[in-house]
Chain A
């Protein structure tokens, strides 16, 4: 289980790590936390875009901007990780495919139903 491989003993420990501001974590732990937190944010943004009846490519661009902005904020501001510890490209690309997929899917489903 990757949770154990990257130092987490349980899902509970992983959740408390994601919400904590521990800056002593390894870059792998930070990237794993970012991967899942980013997806939750993508689903919420998809729901918001759907219920607000947002349409068009600009919404997708807006999502990408917000997603990357959130990644930067979560790693460097919220978790206060040193900028030398992890590269910007790594935090912007971690979980990008899954988060874009979730945003599009959630947005499409809500738009279809609403």
Chain B
């Protein structure tokens, strides 16, 4: 089977352009605004305060007042996080639409075409992506969408890191802090 590597590279370039435009749209709609920057600053301040209180809490035992303060700061961070999620909703929707349009446009041309040969046989969940739209039983045949997804992941991570678009890091996941913190 002849695979045109130029077509594979075209998919990578297409992913790069799509992600770049998506992040540009997000920056235009959300990241450049003063209220977003203010929100990020407030979250970072609250997270710093939370981490300091947590360190104090771990050192001291039976510190009920500290437990209460931690709970208050945690509640504040959750509220700010919710506000940030809401602010990013429009840009996330715009980026999702852009991705769908790009994938469909590329898909119209590449449907049924093997763009690469995988050096491993993917497990069944991954096959839905790697073998999507392809005929034949050879599971090492790779469709355009796997290349697109990998490229999008790479470019998105790097663009967000280089331009500082990652957003503030939370000290705990969406469900809240680890339960053991309050069991002491």
Contact = CB atoms under 8 A, between A and B. Distances in A.
Interface size for chain B: under 10, 10 to 19, 20 to 34, or 35 or more residues?
A: 20 to 34
A101 B150 contact: yes
A112 B3 contact: yes
Interface size for chain A: under 10, 10 to 19, 20 to 34, or 35 or more residues?
A: 20 to 34
Provide the main secondary structure of the chain A interface: helix
Interface in A41-93: 49-50, 54-57, 59-60
Nearest to A1: B164
Contacts of A39: 158
Interface in B12-27: 12
B154 A112 contact: no
Contact of B117 (A59, A102, A111): A111
A32 interface: yes
B142 A108 contact: yes
A109 interface: yes
B92 interface: no
B174 interface: no
B120 A98 contact: no
